[in-house]
Structure 1
């Protein structure tokens, strides 16, 4: 087959996806067109990829015969609009997570994909991270019995740098960091235990970064914006001119399969990693580190006092590279799906459910902590995607 010709729309912090998709001729996929609002970036990337088209307006790429698919890695609040336009133009779409910043927009993307028949793939690359795949495997093997509860702690050690120095700090562009950041964890949790959030309740606030010095409007983020020497977090300076998202959030969730879950996210911890604890009716498992070389430990042979070693230890495998190889694998799955169809480990419906959980959690957090129900997805729409984006006969 000829290589899949991809237009990369947005070449900022997720440029690694475009790099993973740009392979040697005859190896499956190439970046043939690029789009970015920054003209300096656009020129440099057009040269790097040898692109035949370079535009600041993505819409000019959608009617090109030499573009088969688009890779959307623009700021979060633009995801739905760009994806809907591309799908409506008949282009296959790789849509970076979160697929949208509200459940209504996520549903609109799903409807557009079905109406056009163009293939939609949402890039939840954590489903291709070995720590998640190994935890899911251990659960499916019955090592802890039937899962009953999940506790997730996300220590976002670089939060002040990654999320409070640019557009990520603005509600208008992300809704909340429970979309931009937590959708990863919520989707992984749903996949591991085989359920989706049905009810959610949340509390949180802007507890540290709200009072720190900000740069003036119109002044760009400094080139050396990531500096681990900034400690404690209150020493951060030149934060985004607008900061109205929370830096601390606590969620309680009930899944549709009865599993109860708790999710905690803090953006000013000294360390940066995710901690999952999954408890079943015959044991529990917990990861120690979330990168290759870390471990997952299982306790499942009986009751006793504190035991740090557990009854089994499983080393997390995986290579180095973008998200420890997950970026390359998620692009490979996308290219295969566009060309051949079939099963994928990611799911547009699951991506919608992660957005729904984050969106409803945000509403609860900002509305007094009420328990809110996730709106159901139209059954025929769910069936279309569960059937591999093919209408049932």
Structure 2
């Protein structure tokens, strides 16, 4: 059995075990009380997702964790009506030791994901893990082992899977075959708020624990750019490929029910930002599957692309889908347009809580998170090795 086969069989078994446990949990007296939530990493992403948790009356914030006092204070101020009684800590283990924390949302830099995720599962807590699930391919085994040993819920942060219009498009145009044979998926998304813009060289701010930020990464002196624009550095994240291709590749693979890429090629470079960043600010990738191609284009521009989407070309028509809705254009006939009716983050956070409280299945289980990592890791391998990747070691 190779590593890719190991991924599919092991993840499926872990998901089945957790689904059974969720159903059992719903039958326990008191299981429908408010879910005690802990949040690890209180930055921009956590702020966005916790808007959704704050709207859910079934959720109670009980513990918070961040390595930077200023960021933690800003989070507390923003959610002051919801976190007034939540304990604040610097080290995540203190949060995990709390018996009143039932579920944990993890929104740290990518290089800390697996270390913290395995600790959360080991502490018998339900887990909402931001994407990407992996920072390095070799981390997969530890995460799979922790998930297989746990009976708790695990939701990956790929919120498109909870979008009603995504589900509708999958059923109506892919499962029902209205697109015909899809031969091509084009994924585009440009401009991001995390791009680096003339970040000054300043002393380390008081209350920022640099050693905890670095974690397992190489020990280097503090630089503000490495903290505030960590996605631009290979030690902490994998840039555009991990941040964006993870989302769009998941959409394409989910729609087409094919998560087994055959090969990948990626090119790019530091064409705009320059400086000491180590991830490309512009990248193009082609991922080949058995009978279709996925093209990915992304760059850090000063002007946001108004239409980040996944565009599918089939023998009977095409479909262009975004987070706001989709347009299906048949080969013969008028286009059909559908608008999103709910914020994806609200739907995805709600699905996670439904899984804990009611025993529903999560929409983005570990298997989906790991499968979305495969084309990303293959594209990364191609980019750094300057060759076509056909298998991951």
Structures share fold, TM-score greater than 0.5: yes
Closer/same/farther in 2, CA of residues 269 and 281 from structure 1, 3 Å limit: farther
Instruction: Map 1:27-38 to 2 at 5 A.
Output: 27-38=57-68
Relative to structure 1, the CA distance from residue 157 to residue 176 in structure 2 (aligned partners, 3 Å threshold; closer, same or farther) is closer
2:185 is aligned, of 144, 150, 170, to 150
Q: Deviations over 1:331-353 (max 9, x none)?
A: 11111112333433212111101
| Greater relative contact order, per chain length (Cα 8 Å cut-off, separation 6+) | 2
Change (3 A) 1:369 1:269: farther
Q: Could you tell me whether the CA contact under 8 Å between 2:154 and 2:365 is conserved in 1?
A: no
Matches within 5 A, 1:1-393: 1-14=32-45, 15-23=47-55, 27-46=57-76, 48=80, 49-129=83-163, 132-137=166-171, 138-156=173-191, 160=195, 166-211=229-274, 242-255=276-289, 258-268=291-301, 270-272=303-305, 273-287=307-321, 290-292=322-324, 295-301=326-332, 311-319=334-342, 325-374=343-392
Deviation at 1:193, TM superposition (A): 1.1
After TM superposition, give the deviation of residue 291 of structure 1 in Å.
4.8
The CA RMSD measured in Å over matched residues stands at 2.5
Distance, in Å, in 2 between the alignment partners of 1:131 and 1:158 is 26
Q: Tell me, yes or no, if the aligned pair for 1:147 and 1:259 is still in contact at 8 Å.
A: yes
Instruction: Return 333-342 or 127-136, whichever deviates more.
Output: 127-136
Match of 1:22, SS? helix
For the residue of structure 2 that corresponds to 1:209, the secondary structure is: coil
Question: 2:100 and 2:192 mapped to 1: Cα distance?
Answer: 42
Partner Cα separation in structure 2 for residue 300 and residue 112 of structure 1: 48
Deviations 1:34-93 (A, max 9, x none): 111111333454562123311010111112111111110111111111010110111111
Q: Match of 1:218?
A: none
CA offset digits 1:329-377 (Å, max 9, x no partner): 11111111123334332121111011122122111111113232257xx
Work out the CA distance in 2 between the residues paired with 1:140 and 1:275: 20
In 1, Cα distance between equivalents of 2:144 and 2:129: 12
**8 Å contact 1:147–1:279 — kept in the other structure?**
yes
Which runs of 5 or more structure 1 residues have no equivalent in the other structure? 213-241, 302-309, 320-324, 376-393
Q: Offset at 1:196?
A: 0.6
Residues 72-128 of structure 1 deviation map (CA, whole Å, 9 limit, x = unaligned):
011111111101011011111110111121232234212201113222111111223
Distance 1:132 1:249, change over 3 A: farther
- Residues 132 and 347 of structure 1: CA distance in aligned 2, closer, same or farther (over 3 Å): same
Q: 1:295 to 1:170 in 2, by over 3 A?
A: same
TM-score by length of 1: 0.76
Structure having the larger proportion of residues in helix: 2
8 Å contact from structure 2 (residues 37, 59) kept in 1: yes
**What is the deviation of 1:190?**
0.9
The number of residues matched between the two structures is 327
Whether the 8 Å CA contact 2:234–2:278 is kept in 1: the answer is yes
Q: 1:74 to 1:158 in 2, by over 3 A?
A: closer
